[in-house]
Amino acid sequence: MKDDLALTNDLLELRKAFNKSFSVAPQIETEEMDQAVVFTLSKESYAINTNFTRVIIKIPHITKIPCAPSVIVGIINLNGVIVSVSDIRSILGVSANEITSESRIIVTKNLHYTTGILVDSIKSVVFVKQKDIQPPISTISAVKAELIQGEFYLKDKLVTLLNMERLSKSNEMKVE
């Protein structure tokens, strides 16, 4: 009889867990989570919403485009398609860095054009609650603030979330 009770309790527990698994899923959706790729430029941490990232690749052969502005580092062959590589550090006022074995290219998507953003290293891919994204601090200059969607903390480290739509439309990124 005692054993029967234990079994019933176990079954109840299982049922609870089962029900919980249903109720948890919608909770995540209503929490308004954003997924973002966190990377570094010099020593600073930045992030791009994964809605705008197609793939992250190691640095392949980059062909220079003569006479192109310095933001456009060159072009690469991404599976038979030519993709430009952009170095956004000068736009964000971050000092330039050499390409190392840690360097990566984040290829964008869902923007007016496809380009590869050159970064010094990839840290992680994280989920961020929208309420945790704060507006950028006021010390940032107006031009830069335009390009920043907000900031959030990742293990006590401040990460700047870029506004990719604005950044991709900024004049420095384009040659027209």
Partner 1 sequence: MASTKKDPYRYFKIEANELLDQLNNGMLQLEENPADTPLLDEMFRLAHTLKGSARLVKLTNLGDIAHYIEDILGEAKAGEIQLTSEIIDRFIVGLDAVAAVLKHVNDGTDPHIDVSASLEQMKREASAPAPASEVAPPVAEPDVAGQAATVTPVKIVEKVKSREVSSIHDAPAEDNETVRISIGKLNNMLALSGELVINKIKLQEKSNQLASVSALLEQNGKYTESWLQFSGLPEFEDLKARHSDLKEVFKDIEQSIQTQQKIREEINYFASQYEQDVKLTHSISMDLQEEAFRARLLPANSILMDFKRFVRDIAKELNKEIKLNIIGGEIEVDKHILDEIKAPLMHLVRNAAGHGLEPVDERVANNKNREGSLTLTLMLQGSGLIITCEDDGAGIDLEKIRAAAIKKNMLTSQEAFEISDAELLYFILEPGFSTSEIITNLSGRGVGLDVVATAIAGLRGQVSIKTESGRFTRFIIELPRSLANLPCLLIESGHEKLLLPLSCVVETFRIEKKEIEIKGNREVIRISGRATPLVRLNQILKLPDQALDSKKIPVVGVSSRGEFIAFAVNGLIGVREVVVKNIGNHIKRVANVGATTILGDGNPVVILDPVQLIQNSKEASLNRITDGDEDEGNMDEVLPILVIDDSLTTRMMEKSILESAGYEVDLAVCAEEAMEKVKEKKYELMVVDVEMPGMTGFEFIKKFNDNPEFPETPSIIVSSLASAEMKRKGIDAGAKGYIVKGEFDQNLLLETIESLI
Footprint on this chain of partner 1 (rule: CB under 8 A): 61, 63-68, 72, 74-77, 80-84, 112-115, 168, 173-176
158 vs 175, which CB is nearer to partner 1? 175
76 vs 92, which CB is nearer to partner 1? 76
Q: Minimum distance from CB of 76 to partner 1 (Å)?
A: 6
Cβ(140)–Cβ(148) under 8 Å? yes
Q: Minimum distance from CB of 164 to partner 1 (Å)?
A: 13
Angle made by CA atoms 140, 47, 160, in degrees to the nearest 5? 20
76 vs 148, which CB is nearer to partner 1? 76
Q: Minimum distance from CB of 107 to partner 1 (Å)?
A: 11
Instruction: Collect all residues with Cβ–Cβ distance below 8 Å to 129 and sequence separation of at least 6.
Output: 31, 32, 33, 34
Return left, alpha or beta for 133; rule: phi > 0 is left, psi -120 to 50 is alpha, else beta: beta
Angle made by CA atoms 102, 107, 108, in degrees to the nearest 5? 135
Q: Minimum distance from CB of 62 to partner 1 (Å)?
A: 8
49 vs 115, which CB is nearer to partner 1? 115
